[in-house]
Amino acid sequence: MGSLLIAGGTVVTLGSRNRVLPDHAVFCQDGVISRIAPRSELTVLADSTIDARGKVVVPGFINAHTHFYSTLVRGLTKAEPAAGFQEVLEHLWWRLDRALEPEDCQLSALIALIEAIRHGTTTLVDHHASPHAARGSLDALAGAVTRVGVRASLCYEVSDRDGAAVAANGLAENVAFLQRCAREPDPHLRALFGLHAAFTLSDATLERAAAEARRLGAGFHIHVAEAASDQEHSLATHGVRVVERLNRLGVLGPRTIAAHCVHVDEHEMDRLAATGTAVAHCPQSNMNNAVGVADVPAMIARGVVVGLGTDAMTENMLEELRAALWVRHLAAGDPSAGFTETLATLVANNAAIADRLWPGLGLGELREGGGADVVLVDYQPPTPLDETTFAGHLVFGLSQACVDTTIVAGRVLMAGKQLRLDLDEAELAARARERSRALWERF
């Protein structure tokens, strides 16, 4: 893999003790950061060198919840307007996912991952659905991840909504991919056991999934209380709230990611905290679907690890962070509400979630011995930039700046805003337009 020297930028380490280090250098060897030091002291001979002067050097961003498969929906006008969240699913997403074929899934992933590289997002936790092309779908996505060179955790969302045979295929797909990841360890790939949401899963299916996941030592990735209707369904059908039901059936735990958690009460927050279950907050999606605003500060105060996901609204984590801040202020009627907690979702808590999947790699932080996932942003700070001011620069400055270079595990995936990938982006987009025309016909 060789060595790479990133020389001369302002290095922002993030991590538990964020340091802002002007005119520093980062030396990467064999996919790992071997040294961070002042540029003048780091005069090693590297296989290649990147001039980072005039740039801010940050760890690659992490997206704790997304769906690659939604890429080809852009501009689709056939879906009837939805009156509520259930209709968003019925009119759009469940019609789309039923029409997906294997090549659509792979193209969707490739394009989403290229967008991630362009925005400095280097680790993604995906949640996949293609009910009539479930088997082999995670291998297809993994192929895209490997080809592009980012890191991703994949899962297939099991659901009873399309009948028993499709549910069985979904269970089998998770098992097969978890077994593949155990058999053929790959630093870029991780697996979770995917579940759609409590309201489309019977107790019997959840029990089967829990038994398989226990056997394989896997955590789950599931949508939880995204809309109030998930709670109404749970109470009416099972007599308990969603988090309680999932806990009884063995779905919660420190390896599980619960996306959304907009409609959880205080007991459920305590249960999420006690079980160590992580939450992925997805504010742009929640606003778009008009389902409500998750109470992130309350969850964090109760000890829940709340990270930040985009639910495929964007691959730009700083855009999602800004949306998270503004909606928190608006929901609280307080322009100072939840700044620290919201910032922590992206910076500290996504790193904690990534650490559960890639233990010890220090993703989300630049540190010696950690994974060399590094992003260079064009940014000349117009006000003092140091540890005390960094948050303001992140939200108001870096978020508006261009990502210049994206590096994952020491491999340069984009430099000077040019992709360095073994694929033709224009050709890929042309093929995707062709496939999406056919997909929209089947929709």
Kindly state whether residue 311 participates in binding Zn ion, applying the rule CB under 5 A: yes
Q: What is the pattern of x (binds Zn ion, CB under 5 A) and - over residues 216-255?
A: ----------------------------------------
Q: Which residue's Cβ lies closest to Zn ion?
A: 311
Query: Given the rule CB under 5 A, which of 209-217, 233-241, 311-319, 408-416 is the region that contacts Zn ion?
Result: 311-319
Q: How far is the CB of 311 from Zn ion (least distance, A)?
A: 4
**Do residues 5 and 48 make contact, with C-beta atoms less than 8 angstroms apart?**
yes
Q: CA dihedral defined by 91, 92, 94, 99, rounded to 10 degrees?
A: 120
- Please give the distance of CA 7 from its chain centroid, rounded to a whole number: 29
**Do residues 111 and 429 make contact, with C-beta atoms less than 8 angstroms apart?**
yes
Query: Given the rule CB under 5 A, which of 112-120, 310-318, 337-345, 365-373 is the region that contacts Zn ion?
Result: 310-318
Q: How far is the CB of 147 from Zn ion (least distance, A)?
A: 24
Two structure tokens written together for 182: 């155990």
Residue (148 or 312) nearer to Zn ion, CB = 312
Residue (20 or 191) nearer to Zn ion, CB = 191
Residue (311 or 365) nearer to Zn ion, CB = 311
Residue (162 or 311) nearer to Zn ion, CB = 311
Q: How far is the CB of 300 from Zn ion (least distance, A)?
A: 21
Residue (189 or 262) nearer to Zn ion, CB = 262
- Please give the distance of CA 217 from its chain centroid, rounded to a whole number: 21
Q: What is the pattern of x (binds Zn ion, CB under 5 A) and - over residues 105-134?
A: ------------------------------
Two structure tokens written together for 364: 């989300």
Q: How far is the CB of 88 from Zn ion (least distance, A)?
A: 11
Residue (129 or 439) nearer to Zn ion, CB = 129
Q: Write down the residue that tokens 């959304």 correspond to.
A: 260
| Separation CA 383–CA 363 (nearest Å) | 28
Binding residues for Zn ion restricted to 414-433, rule: CB under 5 A: none
Reference 177, options 200, 152, 160, 150; nearest CA is 152
Residue (311 or 320) nearer to Zn ion, CB = 311
Reported residue count of the chain is 443
Reference 300, options 283, 281, 282, 314; nearest CA is 281
| Number of chain residues interacting with Zn ion (CB under 5 A) | 1
**Do residues 324 and 350 make contact, with C-beta atoms less than 8 angstroms apart?**
no
End-to-end CA distance of the chain: 44
**Do residues 435 and 72 make contact, with C-beta atoms less than 8 angstroms apart?**
yes
Reference 55, options 431, 322, 412, 378; nearest CA is 378
Kindly state whether residue 97 participates in binding Zn ion, applying the rule CB under 5 A: no
Residue (284 or 405) nearer to Zn ion, CB = 284
Query: Given the rule CB under 5 A, which of 185-193, 234-242, 306-314, 369-377 is the region that contacts Zn ion?
Result: 306-314
Q: How far is the CB of 12 from Zn ion (least distance, A)?
A: 29
Phi, psi values for residue 168, rounded to 5°? -65, -40
Q: Which residues of the shown chain bind Zn ion in the complex (CB under 5 A)?
A: 311
